[in-house]
Structure formats: structure tokens, C-alpha cells
Structure 1
Amino acid sequence: MKKFPSYVFIVRSFMSQISSLFLIFFFCIALSPRVALAETSMTSMTSMTSMPSRQLASLLANQLNFTADFTQQSFNSEDVVVDRSSGHIVLSRPFNLRWETKVPFAQTIIINGDRYLQYDSDIDQLIISSLGSQDTAIPSLLLSADASAIESFFTVSRVALNSVVDRDHQGDIDNVNIDKINISDELSSLNNHSYVLTPLDKSSLIADLRINFHQQLITSIVILDDFGSRSQFDFNNITASKALDRALFELDPPANTDIIYR
């Protein structure tokens, strides 16, 4: 195993915790189960218009598989970029995620059912934990969320992507492959909108979370905190509803890997 100063592990651990928080939070919202779509499809268009949370659940549930390149930027309260990362994301319902960071360091996070795996190749370390464990109880609960559960945690509002600010935060809309997406008439009317989720819990460190859609696909997610900082995830080269190899959600580390169970 490679030897590194102790501070490397401390810094890496802190960065991983922050990234994982945003990652799991996004994953929990993005993989709303199929029941949400079934529930929404039974709702009239008039009702949908007055229920943004149902619209959001329907759009999310319609994306069975999702792959994209991502860039993540963290801004401080003065809107200065303090951190950047990029990589590739693969989502497959129900509850399969591969989040592979390539820059500034290599890290692979996989969620497969109730398992969470985090592999850092440069320090030969693999962390394995269960989403049912005490420290992931809330993410585990959110993973089983439907539209009603979203309403239990957030107030949801919908805005059209018309403003300059909205366009700046909607991500790369030029590289989208939607040839294989089956979009209902109801969903087609929800094109190019942003959904703002505000936590009901006033003690939450997250002020709000914005999910931007173009042609019924997620193009960016912006998370604002109570300190005025924000993290922005932009997605490009997006493909949806393409059959995915199940092996993407497994991980076979090298023999010399240090494996930690939590």
C-alpha cells in the first residue's frame, strides 16, 4: 500500500464527506421510484399545474437511465470559484449510481441497492458501508421517496427558464440525446423549467436546491447554503433511457487495496 502523510487522509476525508453529501442528496432526489410516476400519471393536467412536487416527481421518474459528463464548481459567498471537479455519472433506477470523479483526483463512488462504495485509487483505499446504517439513515429514507415524501421534506416551486440567471445555470443543452425517451403529452408541457426545493426544516444547512430541466432532462443542479455559498453541477453529453451494463455498478479493487467497512 502507498504511504502518505496523515494530513492527506484528513483533507481527503473532509472533501469526500462534502462531496458525498451533495452526491447522495442529488441521488436521493433524482431516483424517485416508479410509484411517483404512476401517481402523477393519474393526476389531471389541471392538478399537475398546481402541484410542482408532482410534476418534479413525474419528470424524475421518467428517466430510467441517465448518463452524462459532469462538472462541479463550488462558489463562496462572493461568487468566487473555490473548488472544481469533473467526471462522469451513470444513474439507473432503482437505486444504482456510479459517480466517477476524474479531476482533480480519481475517485469512484457507487451506490448499488443498499451498498455504498467509495474507491480512491491513488491511496489504494475502498470504503464500504450500508445505506441502512445509522450514519446514512436519512439518505436511506430519501432513497425510498415518492412525491409525497418530497413534500414532507421540501416546499417545491416551479419557474420557467427565462431569465439570464436561469440560462446561466441550466447547464449544457447542446449535447443531449433524447431519441429513446418516451415523453408523455403531460411531460412535454413541462419543458425548460426549474424546480426550487426549499427544506421545511429551518435548521437545515441547505437554503435551497434548484433542479433545471431542458427537454425533460436534468441539465444542472444548484445547491445554495445558508452562508451564501453554492455548489453547481452541470451535465453535458447527456444520454437517457439507454440500456446499461450492470457491471458498471460493481467494483473489483486491486489485491493491495485497503478495505474499510463502516
Structure 2
Amino acid sequence: MSDTQTRRPSSLALAASALGLTLAAPLALANEAAERLTDRLDPLESYQATFEQRILDGSGDHLQEARGEMWLARPGMLRWEVEAPYSQTVVSNGDSVYLYDPDLEQVTVQALDDRVTHTPALLLSGRVSELTESYEVDYEQDGSDDVFTLVPNSPDTLFEQLSMTFDGDMLTELWMTDSTGQRTAIVFSDPVRNEQIPDERFEFDIPDGVDVIREEPR
């Protein structure tokens, strides 16, 4: 395995792992929390923003920082571009997910199955009813922000806990934790909600000369 492979996680992992919020208000009832989250996400047709991401280990030490841009549209459409420090791209066209690592000259192609859609970014582009059925949802307030914490009902996910922070209707942060205790914080800036995104944004042409790995659905 090369140094490049060992010093950074995959792009989908970058879009998945960590939670570490200390919040104030009492928890709402589970069904009320799910209804509140539905009210936030149901009107969401598209979303685009720049992001900054920090990955921390279980002790809180920084493992990695990254920044980039993202676009999503329902159902199942996503483009997640990490610009620095290592360029990586994830594209979902609603049927397949492409993970492109230009430094490794490698593209991994996966079917858009249940496990892949449980990664946070793709999870947001899915159906709200499936989301609230697949996760236990808690709601809390942190000042003027609304914070929703999701715990998956199935163990076959890439995270153990996910937190979404909203300022009004705008998603501003994702916090996640995985089974190793590794945490990821993704902070969005300059968000744009429900603006038309060209279909070409969710297309991916495999570059000439790269290795292509096709993973079979599980």
C-alpha cells in the first residue's frame, strides 16, 4: 500500500464519521423529533455549499483537515469534491457512485445500494420517510440552532451517530462518529438551497488511463 493510501481515508469516509456536541435543551420526544427533521428536509430539493472538514481520533487529536465543494439533488444525486490537501471526487448519478482519486489514478464504481446511501451526504439526498424509518431521531436546541441526532437502527452503516445542525432551513454542520471513536466535523458555508443544478454536475466521465475497480452490490 502506498503512502498516499495510508495517510488519507476514502472520499466516502470523508463524507462519513463523528459526533461531539455538548448541547443545552432537553430531548424532544422521538416522534416529534422525526417530524421536526421531516419539516426541515421534505422541502429540500437541492443543496450546494463549500465545506471545511476536520477528522479527529477518539482522544480529540486532529488527524486530517480538508476543504471543498458539494452539490446534491434528490433523489440520490451528489457531487462531493475535496480540493485540498488531496484532490478527491465522489459523484452519484442516482444509479452508481464513482469515487475518483487522481493521485492514485483510480476510480471505484459502486451501485447505489443501501449501505452506500447511509453515508451522510448521500443520506441527505434520499427520501425523508426512509431516513426517519431507518434512524432513531433526537432533537435539541443549541442557542438559535436546531440540532438533530440520528442513530441507525441497522449496524451495517459507516457511522454510529450523526448530528445535523440547522440555522433556520439551512444545514450548517454535520458531526459524525464511527465505531472506532473517530470523529468528523463538516462545516458548510455559503449554502444555496433549492436552486436548479445542471444535470451535468452529477455526471462522471472516467478519465483515460486510470484503474477502474467495480464493486459488486452486497
Shorter chain as normaliser: what TM range? 0.7 to 0.9
* Larger Rg, first or second structure (1 or 2): 1
SS for the counterpart of 1:123 is coil
**What's the CA shift for 1:61?**
2.2
Greater fraction helix:
1
Greater fraction strand:
2
Q: Indicate how the Cα distance of structure 1 residues 248 and 201 shifts in structure 2: closer, same or farther if over 3 A, else same.
A: closer
SS for the counterpart of 1:243 is coil
| Among candidates 66, 71, 77, match of residue 96 of structure 1 | 77
Q: TM-score, normalised by structure 1?
A: 0.66
| Among candidates 3, 9, 26, match of residue 15 of structure 1 | 9
The answer as to whether partners of 2:134 and 2:154 remain within 8 angstroms in 1 is: yes
**Alignment match, 1:150:** 131
Which stretch of structure 1 is more off in the superposition, 95-104 or 221-230? 221-230
Q: Indicate how the Cα distance of structure 1 residues 255 and 226 shifts in structure 2: closer, same or farther if over 3 A, else same.
A: closer
| CA distance in structure 2 between the partners assigned to 1:206 and 1:49 by the alignment | 20
Aligned counterparts, 1:33-48, within 5 A = none
**What's the CA shift for 1:101?**
0.4
* 2:192 is equivalent to residue 239 of structure 1: yes
* Number of matched pairs: 200
**What's the CA shift for 1:21?**
4.0
The answer as to whether partners of 1:24 and 1:139 remain within 8 angstroms in 2 is: no
Q: TM-score, normalised by structure 2?
A: 0.78
Aligned counterparts, 1:173-192, within 5 A = 192=145
The answer as to whether partners of 1:53 and 1:150 remain within 8 angstroms in 2 is: no
Aligned counterparts, 1:146-225, within 5 A = 146-147=128-129, 149-162=130-143, 192-200=145-153, 206-225=159-178
| Among candidates 158, 170, 183, match of residue 230 of structure 1 | 183
**What's the CA shift for 1:67?**
0.6
State the structure with bigger RCO (CA 8 A, min sep 6), 1 or 2. Answer: 2
* 2:215 is equivalent to residue 259 of structure 1: no
Q: Percent identity?
A: 23
